[in-house]
Amino acid sequence: MLLHQTTPKTLLELAGVRLEAPSLSDAALVLIDYQNEYVSGALPLDGVDAAIGEASALLERARAAGTPIVHIAHKGRAGGLFDREAERGAIVDALAPRDGETVIEKALPNAFAGTGLRDALAATGHGSAIFAGFMTHMCLSSTVRAALDLGLSSTVVSRASASRSLPGTDGEIVPGGAVHQVALAELADRFALIVPDAGAFKE
């Protein structure tokens, strides 16, 4: 007989897996879709400014540690959402790529689909990747889920990521903060270690 669990556990916990955050020197950093569309465009996110601030701290630490850095940008149609030739599709100034940092454009939520991300991460020689970005429930989640299929160990930085409010299936609005937390809980169940902020990593 199975006993009722009063405190839920993740599948990883039930399997006895103990995840630890990689050091910045032993992982690659993947920043997903930090574009102006989510700040001043048609898809404003809950807590977007705080998330960008945390991502900036993470990026600064990664650069100082010599971590390989990959910037992902969603490429939409000309004149529409995420138009890469317009301001709305540009990566936010605070996280603008520097010379030598890889920039990959994607057309689908999963940043591995139809792109060179898999090869870019393989070229770093690291089996671990640190992910953060927008939106938690969409492109971040899709990419981290795919990373498991590719044999990568993933860590997600919660406070450097964010989602937007969504229409619920019952007609009620689901707040962006709740969407973000549920998406993280789903990833934590099987796909990734979730850490709060940049301070979780050793150099």
Identify whether 106 is a catalytic site residue.
Answer: yes
Q: Which helix (H) or strand (E) holds 119?
A: helix 117-124
Instruction: Tell me the pairing of strands 166-167 and 153-157.
Output: unpaired
Q: How many C-beta atoms surround the C-beta of residue 135 within 10 A?
A: 24
Which residue in 9, 33, 75, 170 is the catalytic one? 33
Rounded CA-CA distance 120/29 in Å is: 11
Match 């498991």 to its residue by tokens.
148
Catalytic residue among 139, 170, 189, 202: 139
Active site residue 93: no
Could you say which of 26, 75, 93, 106 is catalytic? 106
Q: Is 33 a catalytic residue?
A: yes
Between CA 76 and CA 80, with CA 78 as vertex, the angle to 5 degrees is: 65
What is the rounded distance in angstroms from the CA atom of residue 98 to the CA atom of residue 76?
Answer: 23
Active site residues: 33, 106, 139
